[in-house]
Each structure stands twice: as C-alpha cells, then as structure tokens.
Amino acid sequence: MSSLSARAISLQTSERQDAALLLFGVAHYREIASKLRVVARGCNFPNVRKDLIDLAARYDRRADHFCRDQAERLRGLATKAKSLAVQWDYRELASEWDMIADQIEKLRTAQG
C-alpha cells in the first residue's frame, strides 16, 4: 500500500469519526433541549419557565449550528477533491447535514 493510499484511508476514517462525534453532539443537544421543555411545562414560576424555554431554544440553535458548519466544511472539501466521485460524495453528505439542520429548525419553530 502506498503512503498516499494509507493517508487517504486515514483521512476517510478520521472524517467518519468526526461525523459520528458531531452527530452524537447534535443528538445530545437535542435531548437536553427536549428535557428542558418537559421541565418547563411542569414549572409553576413563569419567569423560570420562560428561562428554561429560552435555554432549550439555545440548545436547539447550537445543534443546528453544528449541522450547518459540518455541511459547509464538507462543501469546502468537495471543492478541493480531485475526483468527481469524491466531490459528489462530499456534496451529498453536505446536503444530508443541511436536511438535518432544516429538520431541527422545523422542530424548533413547532415547539417554540
């Protein structure tokens, strides 16, 4: 195996690990936001309830931000890739991250 092939495999593995960690982070922020909303519904103090709902919205925005950043980074990698197939793969992944961000945005506006 050439050093170039080894480096390509290493980068692909690194990209997959980064994406998996990012997706875990997005899910974690969404879970926290959901739990904050549940607590807010049971809260008897209006100011505290509002603060909890605002905090939940910030967690949702953070999850959305992670997705948008990942999509943008993948589009940047697509422009640098030499192979058309790799460019297409990166763009396809970027559109999937955009779709996740759009879904988060829809959930946030529906819950907000």
Q: What local confidence, expressed as pLDDT, does residue 25 receive?
A: 81
Q: What is the DSSP letter of 2?
A: -
Q: What local confidence, expressed as pLDDT, does residue 13 receive?
A: 66
Q: What local confidence, expressed as pLDDT, does residue 4 receive?
A: 39
Q: What local confidence, expressed as pLDDT, does residue 87 receive?
A: 82
Q: What is the DSSP string of 39-101?
A: HHHT---HHHHHHHHHHHHHHHHHHHHHHHHHHHHHHHHHHH-SSHHHHHHHHHHHHHHHHHH
Other CB atoms within a 10 A radius of the CB of residue 92 amount to 11
For every one of its 112 residues, what pLDDT tens digit does the chain have, with 9 covering 90 and above? 444 345 445 556 666 666 666 777 888 888 999 999 999 999 999 999 999 999 999 998 888 888 888 888 888 988 888 888 888 888 888 888 888 888 877 876 776 5
The backbone torsions φ and ψ at residue 2, rounded to the nearest 5 degrees and listed phi first, read -75, 160
The predicted model scores a pTM of 0.65
Q: What is the rounded CA–CA span in Å between residue 22 and residue 5? A: 26
Q: What is the rounded CA–CA span in Å between residue 63 and residue 101? A: 8
Q: What is the rounded CA–CA span in Å between residue 60 and residue 37? A: 11
